[in-house]
């Protein structure tokens, strides 16, 4: 019998879901799964292997060959590709721009959904992404959807990239804002598992103007008594 307890935290690009999900997992003593990172790892793997991102069969075949790993060192969640740490590499702007090609692939998504479910089996876990509550874990005990204005999301992502020194060829925050808006449109209109902005069975939280602490507290206070 699967005794998993899954909490899903979904949202569009740069909505703060990753930071919030990590903090919620820490507060509750749960494991954490960044599903977006798995798409990014496959994007990076395809780029390095010379597999065209529009080659759905080629990317799906590659997905079955690579090893995606997760680890936690102190408070830092690490992501690996075939044993190599790619935590920062998968956040580079060139990967961000191309990951949409992977996200829209039905074959690759089918593989990853199976990967996520296997990884979560038997665990108390916080899973974050864009469609975890609507597609990957429709029976999750608690579901949340985080949102913020495009301007606020661009500001957050710009500060994050600046702090890590990985802005790449993005010259201005306005360019990043435009990039996030394009990603929103792509995520919403894609045929495979599109982003649902108002999921019926999820608690929607507008994080614009809220601190990370405030968002985490809202989620933890709602679920703490029910996930012991």
Tens digit of pLDDT for each residue in 60-101? 999 999 999 999 998 899 999 999 999 999 988 899 889 988
Flag whether pLDDT at 1 surpasses 60: no
- For 195, the token pair is 């982003």
**Which pLDDT score is estimated for 170?**
59
The CATH code belonging to domain 5-221 is 3.40.50.300
Among 12, 96, 116, 103, residue whose Cα is nearest residue 54: 103
Report which of residues 50 and 3 the model is more confident about.
50
Over the stretch 117-155, which tens digit does the pLDDT of each residue have? 999 999 999 999 999 999 999 999 999 999 999 999 999
pLDDT in the model for residue 100: 86
Residue pair 16/148 in contact (Cβ under 8 Å)? The answer is yes
Instruction: Give the model confidence (pLDDT) of 187-221 as tens digits.
Output: 899 888 888 988 889 999 999 999 999 999 999 99
pLDDT score recorded for residue 225? 78
User: How high is the pLDDT of residue 157?
Assistant: 85
Question: What are the residue ranges spanned by the domains of the chain?
Answer: 5-221
Q: Residue-wise over 152-180: b if at least 16 C-beta within 10 A, else e?
A: bbbbbbbeebeeeebbeebeebeebbebb
Q: What is the pLDDT of residue 148?
A: 95
Q: How confident is the model at residue 33 (pLDDT cuts 50, 70, 90)?
A: very high
Residue 22: per-residue pLDDT: 96
**What is d(CA 170, CA 94) in angstroms, rounded to the nearest whole number?**
9
């Amino acid at each position: 019998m699967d005794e998993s307890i899954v909490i899903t935290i979904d949202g569009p690009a740069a909505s703060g879901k990753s930071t919030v999900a990590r903090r919620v997992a820490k507060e509750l003593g749960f494991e954490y799964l960044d599903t977006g990172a798995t798409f990014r790892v496959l994007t990076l793997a395809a780029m390095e292997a010379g597999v065209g991102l529009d080659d759905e069969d080629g990317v799906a075949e590659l997905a079955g060959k690579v090893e995606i790993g997760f680890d936690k060192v102190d408070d830092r969640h690490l992501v690996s590709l075939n044993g190599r740490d790619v935590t920062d590499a998968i956040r580079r702007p060139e990967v961000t721009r191309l990951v949409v090609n992977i996200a829209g692939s039905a074959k690759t998504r089918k593989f990853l959904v199976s990967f996520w479910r296997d990884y979560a089996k038997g665990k108390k876990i916080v899973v974050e992404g864009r469609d975890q509550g609507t597609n990957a874990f429709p029976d999750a005990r608690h579901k949340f959807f985080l949102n913020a204005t495009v301007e606020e999301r661009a500001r957050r992502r710009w500060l994050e990239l600046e702090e890590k020194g990985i802005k790449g060829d993005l010259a201005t925050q306005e360019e990043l804002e435009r990039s996030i808006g394009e990603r929103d449109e792509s995520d919403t209109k894609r045929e495979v598992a599109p982003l649902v902005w108002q999921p019926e069975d999820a608690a929607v939280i507008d994080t614009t103007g809220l601190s990370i602490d405030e968002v985490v507290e809202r989620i933890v206070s709602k679920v703490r008594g029910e996930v012991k």
